[in-house]
Structure 1
Amino acid sequence: MRVVVLTWGSRGDVEPLAGLSVKLQEFGAEVVMCAPPDEEFGVLLERAGVPMVPLGPSVRSVVNNPKPPSKEDALKLAPELVAARFEVLTKIAADGCDAIVATGLLPAGARDVAEKVGARYLFASFHTVGAPAAFTNELYGDALNNGRAAIGLPPVADVREHVRTEQPLLAADPTLWPADSPEFLQVGAWTLPDHRPLPTDLEAFLDAGEPPVFVGFGSMAAHAPKDIARLTIEAARAHGRRVLLSRGWADIAAIDDQQDTFVIGEVNQQALFPRLATVIHHGGAGTTTTAAKAGVPQLVVPRIVDQPRWAARVAELGIGFAHQDPDPTVESLSEGLATTLAPETLARAREIAPSIDTDGATRTAKLLFS
């Protein structure tokens, strides 16, 4: 079986699909992954042993602008991505394709190429939050139907429903994000196993005292709270805790040279998170799931789209604190840390951890091979 998987989005979109790709390879499939041409995604997929074909512009070039993307930016980007999918997928499918699995920013164009070449098509999402149908049509409608016409297919009226199919997959843990509609087939979170050791200097920092507070906002460069490093460091120090800062795309940096703060780049979070006191993050699906699986309390400061709901669920489960105000202060973060550093929150996080389902890739692979 030859499978093409594709996404366009942040690391939180790319890494889960890499996890599915690895599992499909274990099942005997030949897999090609289409992903944004950001250097770090190429490194990730090379480590995973998954061949990569670049698709669309780099994500960093889009999200690292001084201002968050506007509606005008979206109206420009959407047709560009649709055209890229038609072009790239058509070339790949020319060599034979049994199935296309698509996720990430609404992958309009993928189902259409699958339809043209007679391949199976699956759409998956990591949450159930979506843009309104009318806005989706405004973004993608003309580009999608122009692409369909070019390959001899009739137009579609509702882009969102067409792309999502009659039964989209929900690649999320049911404890953290229960399916809220019978249309979704919940398969569990897709996870890429990570066996890399932690850097020696990071190990030394972890061993030198109590578990630190971790701060990381991933690829939320344009959306990370202002002065987040200073705010979180001061809040953690108020509780007598050391701080571990993850640079991410926001280039978070230390505010002074005190020895209670350590800055890291990209590391194995599956190995790191169980050794932390609290994970402060933006509420992406991957970080929320990894922290929950590690049994570590979370302080979630959500920024966009699905993140407020991940934050709310963390608080509802009693495994952390939801900071729904987009402008945190030292006092508000300190209040959140009072919750996450409480023994009962740690106990609850450890109680929930074994139930977190991170084997959705296996179920999805079985579904494709059925």
Structure 2
Amino acid sequence: MPRAARFILVPVGSAGDVHPYVGLGRVLRDRGHEVFVLTNAHFKPLIRRSGLHFVEIGTEDDYDRFTRDPDLWHPRRGLLLVPRRGGLEPARAVHDAVARLHRPGATVVAASALAFGARLAHETLGLPLATIHLQPFAFPSLLRPPRPPFLAWTVRLPYPFRRLAYGVTHRLADRLFRVEIDTLRTELGLQPLQTSVLDWLHSPQCVIGLFPDWFAPPQSDWPDGSRLTGFPLFDESPLTPVEPEVVRFLDDGPLPLVFTAGSAMRHAARFFDVSAQICRRLRRRGLFLTGHPEQLPASQPPDVLHASYVPFSLLLPRCALLVHHGGIGTTSQALAAGVPQLVVPRAFDQPDNAERLIRLGVGDALGPRRYTPARGARVIEQLLNDPAMSGRCADVASRIRPGLDETCDLLESLIGTDRKQSRDRLPVRDRTQTGEEAEVRTSKRKKNRE
């Protein structure tokens, strides 16, 4: 059994991004380790209730301003906003907090790729670092690229054109973020970056994907040391009981449709208005989940209930279908519950997750503008009336194995590897390279040397 150590967890984002780290922290705590979670003050109550140490990175007001910004959910502007607000601006605070908590030889950091401060601490302190990717979208690949929230047609381009687009993306990221990262590096006594920003984000020691390989098969051009475990499937069910009003609603009638636009979404008035009209058209009961009730329509059907939060592991097995934004946490919980899904994706990984559900045959997707009462009702009816849907959903649910224990095993394997630093590599499964894969590897090594 590994000796007790101190684990520092650094999520970046909303509840869907923080929950997996809380789940990891609880398992590590139960194994006898000391666990600190560095994140925004908005999540302090959850982390304290989970029995973990909390370190504040950003205030509640910061989180409120961030989630109110309409650019957050813009397909292009959101991809620029989140790395800056969530990665660059708090980078020095994260680095310094990790430095204060660091115990040489007995500390491991597990962090989002956007936690730039954790990546810097890996270099300045030489402590072990695992980069945690919650979704396949975070893994760059030329061989099987994830679907971007815009310019989706680029994934169908021939390989040489995909390679050109890949290079443009890297150069754009360098132009946007490299100067500020190098400024921080200089302040911390580090040399300027010797590789592209997008390559540097991944720990050279360990990269863990929290999803199964059947959801996104590993590619040989993923970062070295990449390992997949499984969906974390942690929600607040051990901490937050279902409200009595919700229990009565679930008990008193047919399985409802459930609608959510995500915990951080504060610009979903149209989504909920359309959803209310869909419930009327289909004469179905509905449950609207949002912590921001000002988004709800003034007049709702009598058989529609609003709740601020219900743990999905307790709710979804008792619903007929889930309509949601496509976040990976919501997606995986619905897969585990075996219910069909209609995704209304906006940004980030959401379109990519939606496409993977379609490939599995367990859901469909409509863009925000195409999500209308008539079209939404028609697609929902098709999903509910598909005679093979329940079988496909049940088959996928049977393949899911929670990945928290395996992930914690990998994190524990990093204890005491400080001196090896970035030269250490976790073993990578053997893979046969095609000619195209070999070219990707050669190009990657050449770019790193440059």
TM exceeding 0.5: yes
Please give the residue correspondences for 1:32-111 in structure 2 after superposition, counting only pairs within 5 Å: 32-38=36-42, 41-56=43-58, 58-68=62-72, 70=77, 77=85, 78-93=87-102, 98-103=107-112, 106-111=114-119
1:303 aligned residue: 346
Structure 2 letter corresponding to 1:55? I
1:216 aligned residue: 260
Question: CA offsets per residue over residues 324-346 of structure 1, 9 Å max, x none?
Answer: 45441111111221122124323
Structure 2 letter corresponding to 1:148? R
3-state SS of 1:288 partner: helix
Q: Which moved more, 1:46-55 or 1:317-326?
A: 317-326
Query: 2-side partners of 1:243 and 1:74: how far apart?
Result: 32
1:161 aligned residue: 199
3-state SS of 1:205 partner: helix
Please give the residue correspondences for 1:1-370 in structure 2 after superposition, counting only pairs within 5 Å: 1-38=5-42, 41-56=43-58, 58-68=62-72, 70=77, 77=85, 78-93=87-102, 98-103=107-112, 106-130=114-138, 132-157=169-194, 158-166=196-204, 167-181=206-220, 183=222, 184-192=226-234, 194-195=237-238, 196-221=240-265, 224=268, 226-249=269-292, 251-256=294-299, 258-324=301-367, 326-342=369-385, 343-358=387-402, 360-370=403-413
Q: Which moved more, 1:91-100 or 1:1-10?
A: 91-100
Question: Percent of aligned positions with the same letter in both sequences?
Answer: 27
Structure 1 letter corresponding to 2:250? L
Describe the shift of the 1:136–1:50 C-alpha distance in structure 2 as closer, same or farther (beyond 3 A): farther
Describe the shift of the 1:345–1:275 C-alpha distance in structure 2 as closer, same or farther (beyond 3 A): same
Q: How far 1:367 sits from its partner (Å)? A: 1.2
Query: 2-side partners of 1:257 and 1:152: how far apart?
Result: 59
Root mean square deviation of aligned Cα: 2.5
Q: How far 1:281 sits from its partner (Å)? A: 0.3
The alignment covers a number of residue pairs equal to 365
Gaps of 5+ in 2: 141-168, 414-450
Query: 2-side partners of 1:163 and 1:22: how far apart?
Result: 26
8 Å CA contact 2:6, 2:103 repeated in 1: no
Q: Which moved more, 1:125-134 or 1:72-81?
A: 72-81
8 Å CA contact 1:74, 1:139 repeated in 2: no
Q: Which moved more, 1:198-207 or 1:46-55?
A: 46-55
Structure 2 letter corresponding to 1:81? P
Structure 2 letter corresponding to 1:244? L
Q: How far 1:269 sits from its partner (Å)? A: 1.4
Q: Which moved more, 1:275-284 or 1:311-320?
A: 311-320
3-state SS of 1:99 partner: strand
Query: 2-side partners of 1:182 and 1:111: how far apart?
Result: 21
Describe the shift of the 1:73–1:324 C-alpha distance in structure 2 as closer, same or farther (beyond 3 A): closer
Query: 2-side partners of 1:107 and 1:250: how far apart?
Result: 31
8 Å CA contact 1:236, 1:243 repeated in 2: yes
Structure 2 letter corresponding to 1:92? L
Gaps of 5+ in 1: none
Question: CA offsets per residue over residues 80-116 of structure 1, 9 Å max, x none?
Answer: 1222222322222279851111116x22121221232
3-state SS of 2:13 partner: coil
Q: Which moved more, 1:247-256 or 1:293-302?
A: 247-256
Structure 1 letter corresponding to 2:230? G
3-state SS of 2:36 partner: strand
Query: 1-side partners of 2:82 and 2:271: how far apart?
Result: 27
Describe the shift of the 1:165–1:322 C-alpha distance in structure 2 as closer, same or farther (beyond 3 A): same
Query: 2-side partners of 1:75 and 1:245: how far apart?
Result: 30
Q: Which moved more, 1:226-235 or 1:68-77?
A: 68-77
Question: CA offsets per residue over residues 269-307 of structure 1, 9 Å max, x none?
Answer: 110010001111000000000011011111111110211
Q: How far 1:264 sits from its partner (Å)? A: 0.2
Query: 2-side partners of 1:252 and 1:179: how far apart?
Result: 39
Larger of the two Rg values belongs to structure = 2
Structure 2 letter corresponding to 1:80? E
Question: CA offsets per residue over residues 12-58 of structure 1, 9 Å max, x none?
Answer: 110111111111112221110101221xx122212221111111353
Describe the shift of the 1:89–1:102 C-alpha distance in structure 2 as closer, same or farther (beyond 3 A): same
8 Å CA contact 2:321, 2:341 repeated in 1: yes
Query: 2-side partners of 1:179 and 1:233: how far apart?
Result: 40
8 Å CA contact 2:289, 2:306 repeated in 1: yes
Structure 1 letter corresponding to 2:393? A
